[in-house]
Structure 1
Amino acid sequence: MSRLPEDYIAAEHRLGAHNYKPLDVVLTKGEGVWLWDVEGRRYLDCLSAYSAVNQGHCHPRIRDAMIEQAGKLTLTSRAFHNDQLALLYEDLSALTGAHKILPMNSGAEAVETAVKAVRKWGYEVKGVPAGKAEIIVCANNFHGRTLGIVGFSTDPTARAGFGPFAPGFKVVPFGDYAALEAAVTDNTVAFLAEPIQGEAGILIPPKGYFRKARELCTARNITMILDEIQTGLGRTGRLLAEEHEGVEADVTLVGKALSGGFYPVSAVLSNSEVLGVLKPGEHGSTFGGNPLACAVARMALKVLVDEGMIENAETKGAYFREGLGEIRSNAVREVRGRGLMIAVELHPEAGGARAYCEALRDEGILAKDTHDHTIRIAPPLVLTRDDVDWALERFDKVLTRGA
């Protein structure tokens, strides 16, 4: 007996925790940039599972790599070596120039790993007094949902009711170099930021901000940590978004698209100094670096490069932004973005972005609202020009009609 969409939704509501508020669509199949619901309706995916499926849904080469490895060996723990981990290290190092790599599972785990490692580096290498290490972060940041991470969030929804929180973090406005410089002390061990703030609404800092931050970190012996979990792996039209500013972080965090949506995989990419402080027993993960994850990640990286997805993100992103910018709508305040990481910010008086996302769903487009008045657009990087034209017709209809 087939179930109706409302049956699935009711069961989720009855049995699941209510920590999400998804759009009312029940998906059952994905291919490339398209998704289908349980009633057979097709949608253009403009979220990519928060940029986890940059390579498109169910990419056949990644799927085949997963199936092949799943038939051989899936998990050993790091108590033993496996024949895929070293190969992933080599692939990541060749692509990014990383000298040391630590694989984890989720993006939040990568962030927590970096925080632990850089504090230890501060004490053992920089000489910060025990218990005094400070990490500078940015207002409106989003680095995950763990207790350690929400402790330095400025989002009241993320923080309320979860304290007390760990000390050791200073918050400065994103993109404000003077505030960053003023926050630095002799106890500052790291500056942690997103190159573009995704959850905050695709916020891009002033040109040159990260170049000056890089110079400051170098001059004051501070580790620059860039969270590229959403912005990295082609999303902005570069392998890493830091390339737009011509900088190189000391520690770069990647995840999400590192597996093309097939499996949770993340990694801390570092210079030798920071990750070099970790000794056996001081940090780890049962699933981190498992052979199945490594085989999937290796192919996910390979198809990004082989199939020109990074370059496609740049060209189709520019075309998409141009088309959105030409829509004459009193609801739209600004269109901004880099590559296929795009935001349509609405005037507050236009009503909430959620209603526009619901209207877009009815037109066959799945996008996500963020921070009340922003529609976030991040389709898979296999998007074609025809796909963009199809989407623009529907965005035009919804934005000019109103929600």
Structure 2
Amino acid sequence: MEPEAGQAVHALTSRWARSLPAGNSVMSALGLWPLLAIMATAADEPGRAELAAAVGLPPETSAARGAGLIRDIDTSHDLHAALGVWVHESLKLSESFGEVVPAELVGALTGDPVRDKAKLDAWATAHTDGMIEQMPIEVTPDLAVVLATALALRTTWVRPFNEQIKQVYDGPWAGGSWHWLNRTDADLTTIKRYDDTAAGPLTVATVTGDADVDILLAIGEPRAGQHDVLAGLLQAAADPAGGRSGADLIGGGVGEQVSPAVQVAMSTTPRPVVQLSLPSFSISMEHDLLDQAELFGLTTVSSDPGAQGHFTAISPTPLRLGQAKQTVLARFFAKGFEAAAVTAMGMVRTSMPMERERKLVVDLDRPFAFTAVHRATRLPIVTGWLATPSEPGA
């Protein structure tokens, strides 16, 4: 994999992680970055500069590097990646279109939502091994261009966990019973302490997969914030040679906390070991990326540009970004880990500017009467008065 592309994906991951909502959450910047890279090459200014800033690479070459990244990661044993592009059959393409998107990736949209949805959903299902069965965007007749990536990850632990039901008595999970995983490992290097992170001291546990994927788990001190721990984990992931190994930490006194959530204890085994335990988990989320358009460089290209459009490298027909969404899931269980993400961008033709007319604005913002009448006979069916709105907002 090209180092600069990898660094750019890591940077986008860090920025996005800082904005994740509280609670269970999961996202894939790896699934999003190639699409932003393609759009950066295809976009006109000023949207081109916004996208390039989000991508972190020059827009002249980012499309090729985005497609190349998908090809590179698809060579992994555990990770499958795919890139797809669909164009409405009536859309005229620019001569430069082939420089933005490889021709072999391009399929056709008919404008029939039922047929197009079936095609796009089948692609998502096939390229996520059935873990995600629908394209995240709404398939509508006005879709002119769809760009999508799919990622599917399945790995099996080198050393599986044992599973049990555990009652938690202390901390924020107190009072609950959970499916809990635990295992013992002689490899002390799977535990590290990182001190110089945004969260302060951080414990990072590496759970090794049987092929070419590992899962890193991070925990900070009880008062460490979610976003800081995420940032610290990503910092640690980029610095595998850093931190203090469990081989160093085990030298502390029995009962001593030598890292967040790590204590030294006596073992019944003849050699030092790591005992790791955690709840199994399954998380799925849907992200509407236009809710954070500025973060992803999508503000300008999703606005209505009038007659010119934002993507003349794709088509002389004025286009804007109408939808940008991601469906993503992750599952950590006794025998392994699986995850999938489908990220999709939907471009639509822009509406032609219309002459502005005068309008009447009527606000029923105080008590008012109402009635329902039978049209033919004008008989009032129900009549009433609204003194106070009865349906509070969510």
Identify whether the pair has TM-score above 0.5, normalized to the shorter chain. Answer: no
Normalized per residue, the structure richer in helix is 1
Shorter chain as denominator, the TM-score bin is under 0.3
User: In proportion to residue count, which structure has more strand?
Assistant: 2
Q: TM-score, structure 1 length as denominator?
A: 0.24
TM-score relative to the length of structure 2: 0.24
State which structure, 1 or 2, has the greater radius of gyration over its C-alpha atoms.
Answer: 2
Q: Which has the higher contact order (CA 8 A, sep 6+)?
A: 1
